[in-house]
């Protein structure tokens, strides 16, 4: 199957999942979606690419909105699935690979990203956010390019995990593109009028912060949040139900208050189930919590 066609099985899944519904991703009035990296280990079969596999996985899980991660669109993601690509890259040092990735980001035509966005749009999947997190190795041109990529994909915002120093570097580009950047953690909100917050409730729990109280206090600045589970005082994400995150209470808060905050499933498989099955379980739990 080519990168731009879909099998009858795919289309049947899309129809059953209701992917063209006008109420895309809404559950109990709350916009519910998934972080694309939940499917990081999906097998890529011959003739497929990461975009088709993600679309198929989301259809199986009946999820119609996502935060897209660079692993779906950048060439480094395909290395683990393509023996030819892996072989071509294996002789390169990390510094050489980093330079190649920078060149790819700066030289890839926007039409490439537009085509990816249109493939999701065709089946009714909303790409609300693109998760692009610059680090100290990023040039200013790469940071700028991230905004252009996100717009070409059809994303409304960038989500990013950035240090205060990097946030200050990102700010001028947020202003230039007039695009919201949702920072993980508190960040330096005052350096750009386009800065907002993106919250991981699992990380709040790990930091001994009450997610319900935090979201209530900061809801006006929060664009989206991860529904993740952690144990108090421990940073490691755990399988939903094995930690202390008040996922049910957070969802009920969003439903009760009607705040326009996206809620994205972020989970990991216990090893006893596939990633798709684990996401299905979490989505079912979330929808039941919002019923």
Is residue 42 in a domain? yes
Does residue 179 lie in a domain region? yes
- Whether residue 36 lies inside any domain: the answer is yes
How high is the pLDDT of residue 269?
74
The number of distinct structural domains making up the chain is 1
pTM across the whole model: 0.84
105 lies in which domain range?
A: 8-283
Look at residue 32 and tell me if it is in a domain: yes
Cα-to-chain-centroid distance, residue 41? 15
Q: Are strands 222-227 and 180-184 parallel, antiparallel or unpaired?
A: unpaired
Of the listed ranges 13-17, 30-34, 227-231, the one predicted with least confidence: 13-17
Q: How confident is the prediction for the chain on average, in pLDDT?
A: 84
Query: Is 245 inside any structural domain?
Result: yes
Instruction: Please indicate whether residue 83 or residue 118 has the higher confidence score (pLDDT).
Output: 118
Tens of pLDDT, residue by residue over 236-254, are 888 888 899 999 999 999 9
Q: How confident is the model at residue 15 (pLDDT cuts 50, 70, 90)?
A: very low
Does any domain span residue 288?
Answer: no
Please tell me the predicted confidence (pLDDT) of residue 223: 96
| CATH number of 164's domain | 3.20.20.150
Measured distance CA(71)–CA(68) in Å, rounded:
8
* Within a domain: 217: yes
Specify if 1 maps to a domain. no
User: What's the gap between Cα 276 and its chain centre?
Assistant: 16
User: How many beta carbons lie within 10 A of that of residue 40, not counting itself?
Assistant: 15
Lowest mean pLDDT across 42-46, 211-215, 225-229, 259-263? 42-46
Give Rg (Cα) of the chain: 19
């Amino acid at each position: 199957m080519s990168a731009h066609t879909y099998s009858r099985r795919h289309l049947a899944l899309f129809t059953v999942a209701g992917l063209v519904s006008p109420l895309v991703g809404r559950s109990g009035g709350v916009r519910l979606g998934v972080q694309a990296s939940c499917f990081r280990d999906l097998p890529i079969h011959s003739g497929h690419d990461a975009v088709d596999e993600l679309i198929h996985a989301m259809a199986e899980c009946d999820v119609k909105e996502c935060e897209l991660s660079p692993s779906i669109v950048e060439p480094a993601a395909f290395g683990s699935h393509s023996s030819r690509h892996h072989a071509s890259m294996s002789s390169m040092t990390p510094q050489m690979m980093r330079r190649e990735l920078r060149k790819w980001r700066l030289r890839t035509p926007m039409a490439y990203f537009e085509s990816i966005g249109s493939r999701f749009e065709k089946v009714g999947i909303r790409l609300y956010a693109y998760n692009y997190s610059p680090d100290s190795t990023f040039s200013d041109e790469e940071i700028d390019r991230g905004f252009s990529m996100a717009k070409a994909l059809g994303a409304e915002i960038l989500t990013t995990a950035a240090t205060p120093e990097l946030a200050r570097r990102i700010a001028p580009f947020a202003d230039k593109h007039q695009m919201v950047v949702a920072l993980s953690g508190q960040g330096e909100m005052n350096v750009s009028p386009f800065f907002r917050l993106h919250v991981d409730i699992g990380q709040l729990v790990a930091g001994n912060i009450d997610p319900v109280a935090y979201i209530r206090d900061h809801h006006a600045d929060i664009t989206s949040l991860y529904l993740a589970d952690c144990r108090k005082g421990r940073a490691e994400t755990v399988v939903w139900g094995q930690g202390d995150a008040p996922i049910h209470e957070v969802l009920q808060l969003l439903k009760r208050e009607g705040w326009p905050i996206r809620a994205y499933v972020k989970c990991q498989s216990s090893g006893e189930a596939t990633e798709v099955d684990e996401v299905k379980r979490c989505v079912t739990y979330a929808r039941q919590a919002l019923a």
